């Protein structure tokens, strides 16, 4: 497993094996995609969106309108409790 240390300025050096695997060169951009709480994926921003296929698991059954409404209500209530605006 590749590892990096965060500097006091919040910077890291991406290990060579990770840069190679992502096809990154100097000046390339990366994006941090949240997968779940505490987990992110590093994605080369220069890649095609088609290469992202399969990164996020698809639900076995479609989400209903009622489930969507419940999730929106839950998120809104959570934001209000935390004081988000």
Largest CA distance in the chain: 47
Residue 69 in domain: yes
- Cα separations (Å) of 21 from 5, 31, 64, 83? 19, 15, 38, 41
Which of 26-30, 50-54, 75-79 is predicted least confidently?
50-54
Strands 30-36, 39-44: pairing is antiparallel
Establish if 6 belongs to a structural domain: no
Closest Cα partner for 18 from 50, 48, 42? 42
Nearest to 45, CA basis, from 54, 33, 36 = 33
Domain that holds residue 33: 16-82
- Asked, for residue 9, whether it belongs to a domain, the answer is no
Q: With respect to residue 31, please indicate whether it lies within any of the assigned structural domains.
A: yes
Asked whether residue 1 is assigned to any structural domain, the reply reads no
The number of domains in the chain is 1
Return the pLDDT at 48.
66
pLDDT at 2 over 80: yes
Residue 11 maps to a domain = no
């Amino acid at each position: 497993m590749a590892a990096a240390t965060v500097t006091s300025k919040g910077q890291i050096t991406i290990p060579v094996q990770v840069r190679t695997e992502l096809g990154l060169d100097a000046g390339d951009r990366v994006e941090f995609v949240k997968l779940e709480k505490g987990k992110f994926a590093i994605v080369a921003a220069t890649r095609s969106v088609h290469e992202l296929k399969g990164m996020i698991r698809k639900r076995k059954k479609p989400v209903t309108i009622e489930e969507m409404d419940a999730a929106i209500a839950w998120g809104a209530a959570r934001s209000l409790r935390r004081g988000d605006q």
